[in-house]
Chains A and B, each alone.
Chain A
Amino acid sequence: MDYQALRQKIIDIIAEIAVDEDLSNIDDDVRLREQLDLDSMDFLDIVMELKKRYKIEVPTEDYPKLATMKSCIEYLAPKFA
């Protein structure tokens, strides 16, 4: 799956979790936590949504790989392949 398509999937998930956030200006290289009001409970939701929507499992030790949009996409791309 290409970068933009995968990016959109992640945006869709964040949009469902953080309804009050503006997601139009996310910088892919900056930690999501620094740009959006997301805490560890919300990262759990991102992981749960990946499982629910795409049957993708993210083990706890891999959570740090979801830090930025770019690292999310790099980490998830092989799982979507």
Chain B
Amino acid sequence: MPISDAPDNKEYGLLGFVEGHPPAAADWEEERVATYPHLIVREFLAFGVMFMTLMVLSILFDAPLEELANPGKTPNPAKAPWYFLSMQELLHYSPPFIAGFVVPGLLVVTICTIPYFRGRLLLVPIGFLIATLIVPMIDGIIWGFLHAVVPDFADASRVYGLPTIVLLALSAIGLFKLALSPLMDDPKRGERLCTRLFLLFVFILLILVLIGTFFRGPEWRWVWPWQ
């Protein structure tokens, strides 16, 4: 039937409902149920539970409000919002150019590239995420060493973040070699390794946030939460 002859002159419509499998669908062998009401009811319930949880949270805990902003009185330490504290923690080890620009930039770009690496090559972006977090800390140690031996070169390289950039480039090459090595020959094992490395990355980020939130006091020195 030509579309223009369809009832009501509509360009599309549902002509009937046939029990069975839709053609060419990926999960055709599975049992299907109508979205309405099955999914809709669950969505409303989930929203209700979320709303009630927030309500209880908001009754029990008050949002922080300190004294009026005073540009003349710098708190020690001045902390960024908690989700940026991992970067502020890295600021403790490496110059702002690295911790404030290179690391967050590389993290976002690398996470974006994850779906474009498949099979054994998935190791490259995921390994690189971990390297991006750890290398600035190694840089801090290297810089301390260089500073003691060749102060002039050390200070200049810190400004340009040289050790970090060199180490990151080396780790990228190393990860490519590793991805092509026999270590990743077994797809199952490679997959498992990537999953674990990604969880390790999340874990390191979480630890950095927790350290920044609870274990850093004046001058960004280590303090215990009960001190």
Q: Do A and B come from one complex?
A: no
Q: Which of B's residues lie within 8 Å of A, judged by CB?
A: none
